[in-house]
Amino acid sequence: KKPLLEFLMVECVFIVFVVMAQAVIIRAREVREHLEQLTKSEQELMVERAISDKLLKIDALTGLYNHKTFHEYLVSLLEQCESNGLRLQLALFDIDNFKRVNDTYGHWVGDLVLKEVAAKVGGLIGLNDFAARYGGEEFAVIFTDKSIHEAYAAAEELRLKIAAMEHPYAGGKPITVSIGLCDYQLGDGKEKLFRKTDHALYAAKHSGKNAVVTASAAHDDDNILSYA
């Protein structure tokens, strides 16, 4: 009887041990699954936040940065100009005779033109440069770490490559842009930088369009009011 009793006790202990071990394994699995779910939820939340943040910064039609983000970035860069001597040029440009495109072929064609021009701009600028849709058919590019001559060459390349694009749905006629370019001068600040660049764009428009005009060249034109 005694060996039988001992055997039953050992069996009972073994069964209890097995049951406890299974409970521990099940609990560990539940904890692991819970942690995995939490991690997945956090990752999904991060992705959603990233997408939401991007949507707030990107222009929905063109995929370039929007007006608000452009100004935030420019303010930050101008601080770097003043404190660290960062070189910066601002280019403002818009599509020549864009209203005629909309009126002749419809707004959906106008939107296609905007998308294609934006894609060309985004594909041509450097890694340290910044492109945005400034509003309507107007775009802005911030060139950094370039001389004014290098920035002018980059703006001229933009003008030429855009003019060379084909638009069969818009009558096959070339779409051109006029560009005003300004080299930032220390102490000017954002407002004066914009006045100078806008002035250069005005000069480009009134000199026959499809041109790049620098703020210094516009200033030298006696027929245009100087902002200096």
Residue 177 to residue 162: CA distance in whole angstroms:
7
21, 74: one domain: no
Residue 219 to residue 136: CA distance in whole angstroms:
27
Residue 4: its pLDDT value, please? Answer: 67
Alpha-carbon distance values, 10 to 7, 18, 23, 73, 122 (Å) = 5, 12, 20, 75, 76
Residues 6+ apart with CB under 8 A from 72: none
Question: Is residue 227 included in any domain, yes or no?
Answer: no
Check residue 208 and give left, alpha or beta (phi > 0: left; psi -120 to 50: alpha): left
Question: Is residue 172 included in any domain, yes or no?
Answer: yes
Question: Is residue 225 included in any domain, yes or no?
Answer: no
Residue 206 to residue 178: CA distance in whole angstroms:
10
Active site residues: 137
* Count of structural domains, the chain: 2
123, 174: one domain: yes
Residue 51 to residue 193: CA distance in whole angstroms:
32
Tally Cβ neighbours within 10 Å of residue 218. 26
Residue 31: its pLDDT value, please? Answer: 84
According to DSSP, the β-strands at 212-214 and 177-183 are parallel
The pTM for the full model equals 0.74
Domain range for residue 26? 1-57
Residue 156 to residue 150: CA distance in whole angstroms:
10
148, 116: one domain: yes
90, 141: one domain: yes
148, 181: one domain: yes
41, 96: one domain: no
CATH number for the domain that contains residue 77: 3.30.70.270
Question: Is residue 226 included in any domain, yes or no?
Answer: no
Tally Cβ neighbours within 10 Å of residue 214. 25
Residues 201, 94 contacting (CB under 8 angstroms) = yes
HSE on the CB side for 93, CA within 13 Å?
30
170, 99: one domain: yes
93, 146: one domain: yes
103, 212: one domain: yes
84, 175: one domain: yes
Question: Is residue 111 included in any domain, yes or no?
Answer: yes
Residue 170 DSSP label: G
Question: Is residue 191 included in any domain, yes or no?
Answer: yes
Question: Is residue 216 included in any domain, yes or no?
Answer: yes
Residue 29: its pLDDT value, please? Answer: 85
Which of 27, 57, 87 is the C-terminal boundary of a domain?
57
Residues 153, 143 contacting (CB under 8 angstroms) = no
Residue 226: its pLDDT value, please? Answer: 39
109, 52: one domain: no
Digit-by-digit pLDDT tens for the chain (228 residues) are 557 667 677 777 778 777 888 888 888 888 888 888 877 776 666 656 655 565 689 999 999 999 999 999 999 999 999 999 999 999 999 999 999 999 999 999 999 999 999 999 999 998 899 999 998 999 999 999 899 999 999 999 999 999 999 988 888 889 999 999 999 999 999 999 999 999 999 999 999 999 999 998 766 554 444 333
Query: Cα dihedral angle (185, 186, 191, 194), rounded to 10 degrees?
Result: 20
Rounded to 5°, angle at Cα 192 from 191 and 195:
90
Question: Is residue 93 included in any domain, yes or no?
Answer: yes
97, 204: one domain: yes
Residue 54: its pLDDT value, please? Answer: 58
Which of 16, 31, 57 is the C-terminal boundary of a domain?
57
Residue 225: its pLDDT value, please? Answer: 42
